[in-house]
Chain A
Amino acid sequence: MDNKQLTITDLETVYDQLADALDQAAEGKRELFLVKLALLSAQALGDAEQFMTLTRTALLDL
């Protein structure tokens, strides 16, 4: 796994941006938005195996 990590400040920014974007997406389109974001992130990540690990992590404790 890549050691590159978000700083606390970056993480806070991501937190707010994600919340704002979810609010901007119309009711009923939030899931679609999140899946698009996941696909774009996977492409930026460029690592299918790492994406699988992240997917499993996200499925925990729902």
Chain B
Amino acid sequence: MHTPLAEPRRSIYFDYQVYPAHTASVNAAQVERRPVVIVGAGPIGLTTALDLARYGIPSIVLEAERQVSEGSRAIVFTRRSLEILQQVGVAEQVTAAGLGWRFGNSFYRNQRVFRMEAPHDADDRFPPMTNLQQPCLEQFLVDACQANPLIELRWGNKVTALVQAGDYATLDIDTPVGDYRLEANWVIAADGARSAIRGLLGLQLEGAAYEGRFVIADIKIELDLPTERLAYFDPNWNPGNTVLMHREPGNIWRIDYQLPRDETPEQALSADSLRERINAQLAIVGVQNPQWELDWCSVYSARALTLPKYIHDRVIFTGDAAHLLPIFGVRGANTGFQDCHDLGWKLALTIKGVAGPGLLASYSAERVGAAREIIAEAGKSTRFMTPPTPGHCLVRDAVLSLSLTQEFVRPLYHWRTSRPHDYVDSALNCKGDDNGLYTSGPHQGAPLLNIRLGDDQFLFDCLGASFYLLYFTDANEVPGDIQAQVQALREQGVPLQVLAVTGNRQGAISGADGVIDDHSGHLRSKYGARAGSAYLVRPDQHVCARWQQLGGQALRAAIVTALGNE
């Protein structure tokens, strides 16, 4: 019998709510068959459920626990993650509760040797980074899921077995009062780093595990420091090792520090060891006799691993269940959001029978590719933060020493923050468009660039669960051949919206679903477009085709490709 914790977890800043376990299915007369069952109610599982619901696809989310996750865990969310969270309707809450930031600092021997300034364009709605504790984010997502009639959240339900047969999978689920069986046409494994589904299928992650281990500790303390990333290399109290500090909302500070090689996690998490080391680090930021309270602590080790494919018959892996990425560069949850946003529309259109045979497969190709690139990139910063060999240690230490006076080595401190992935080589990209002729604007495979359209109005605010055609025009009507193809595609069930970007203050445009007034020419200039140009954008906001002069047939061909028919 599965017995999840029934008492609320302890936290200084977050009120845990314990939800009743779902037990109504135990001893049910019949086994239910559902189109989608999502395993795991973490940020990625919940976002996937919300994303699918935008296309009208219902889902059940199974969560072994009866409350949201323990400890702050993922605390830094990138601009791209906020853009994705905006699509599922929680970005406003995250922005209001979170702390935006854009600067990072690296220190060696009390000297700031590197400062990163992440660009923030006036055209961006969201800051480069937003800090918020994971349980707070999960709560926003839980509330949104529970308000959505298409999503059923089943707390206290733990998957104990999974068998695949034909076009569905059967799950055995344990609850506090007994077990039951559930069938799903699709199972989405979003059950995190220690994925039970991964284990049940006997799948192995590929890649490297690094030796360096870190204590992650959250403390409540008032510090007069801005919300910026602070990294301390080789501090006097922790020779050879690295310490990171981040401000979280509510006067909570995350302190990450590397353990000496021979220390066990139990030793490192002892109250005395924590107090001594946290006080030593606080002394470095100028706090003597500090008063603080511990909220949560854990030990973390850097890994850079991925499954070689994310779709196994009717089981689809996403987030940490699919890959484990080093935390330096905030690549965990931020990669997961991009995974599930790539998956949502592809699975939805596959279930609706609108997709070609290659659409769902492109999820695995695009996201495994992204994970492998991230692993290569993350490896560089991880090797700098936690040098794996004596040779790496020596060169890293030489760079630290040189960085006090030598400008040229300082970029090596850059930790290569998570960025939106470009699906440059995606099979969904149009082959015969004018992508190569553009000299500006988002290219094929890249996400759209946000554009400020008004005081509190941005291009991404206009987007939803659909393909979008951004059509740049000075006329009062979208050309008839484009309109005819749009109409025909819609009749086939393809979600497609036409947004006319107007240069002449034209009011209504015949054949457009929405109008963006661009009489200033700002959008046109940023996108390198002119009258008659067009961008075709996938439902996950990635560009799949762009033309300098669009015709109806070209639009149809690009959509056919983008639906995985090639």
Contact = CB atoms under 8 A, between A and B. Distances in A.
22 contacts: A31-B394, A32-B394, A32-B397, A32-B398, A32-B401, A35-B394, A35-B395, A35-B397, A35-B398, A36-B398, A36-B401, A36-B402, A38-B398, A39-B395, A39-B398, A39-B399, A39-B402, A39-B409, A40-B402, A40-B406, A43-B406, A43-B408
Given A39-B398, A40-B402, A43-B406, 19 more contacts: A31-B394, A32-B394, A32-B397, A32-B398, A32-B401, A35-B394, A35-B395, A35-B397, A35-B398, A36-B398, A36-B401, A36-B402, A38-B398, A39-B395, A39-B399, A39-B402, A39-B409, A40-B406, A43-B408
Contacts of B406: 40, 43
Interface size class of A (residues with CB under 8 A): under 10
Contacts of B394: 31-32, 35
Interface class of chain B by DSSP: helix
A35 B395 CA distance: 6
A24 B105 CA distance: 33
Nearest to B394: A35
Contacts of A32: 394, 397-398, 401
Contacts of A31: 394
A35 B397 CA distance: 9
Q: What are the 4 closest A-B residue pairs judged by CB atoms, nearest first? A: A35-B398, A36-B398, A35-B394, A43-B408
A40 B563 CA distance: 53
A31 B399 CA distance: 13
Give the most central of B397, B398, B399, B408: most A CB within 10 Å: B398
Contacts of A38: 398
Interface string A10-37: 0000000000000000000001100110
A38 B202 CA distance: 47
Contacts of B408: 43
A55 to B, nearest CB: 11
Contacts of A39: 395, 398-399, 402, 409
Nearest to B406: A40
A43 B401 CA distance: 15
A39 B409 CA distance: 9
A43 B398 CA distance: 14
A44 to B, nearest CB: 10
Interface in A36-53: 36, 38-40, 43
B136 to A, nearest CB: 44
Interface string B125-153: 00000000000000000000000000000
Interface in B156-186: none
A36 B395 CA distance: 8
A36 B406 CA distance: 11
A39 B396 CA distance: 11
B11 to A, nearest CB: 44
A51 to B, nearest CB: 13
B528 to A, nearest CB: 34
Contacts of B401: 32, 36
Interface in B373-406: 394-395, 397-399, 401-402, 406
Contacts of B398: 32, 35-36, 38-39
Nearest to B401: A36
A39 B401 CA distance: 11
Contacts of B399: 39
Contacts of A35: 394-395, 397-398
Nearest to B391: A35
Interface in B280-321: none
Contacts of B409: 39
Contacts of A40: 402, 406
A38 B394 CA distance: 12
A47 to B, nearest CB: 14
A50 B408 CA distance: 18
Contacts of B397: 32, 35
A52 to B, nearest CB: 14
Nearest to B399: A39
Nearest to B395: A35
B16 to A, nearest CB: 49
A43 B406 CA distance: 10
Nearest to A37: B398
Nearest to B412: A39
A40 B398 CA distance: 10
B503 to A, nearest CB: 48
B207 to A, nearest CB: 26
Contacts of B395: 35, 39
A60 B257 CA distance: 39
A13 B247 CA distance: 53
B393 to A, nearest CB: 10
A38 B406 CA distance: 14
A32 B400 CA distance: 11
B234 to A, nearest CB: 12
A7 to B, nearest CB: 28
B101 to A, nearest CB: 31
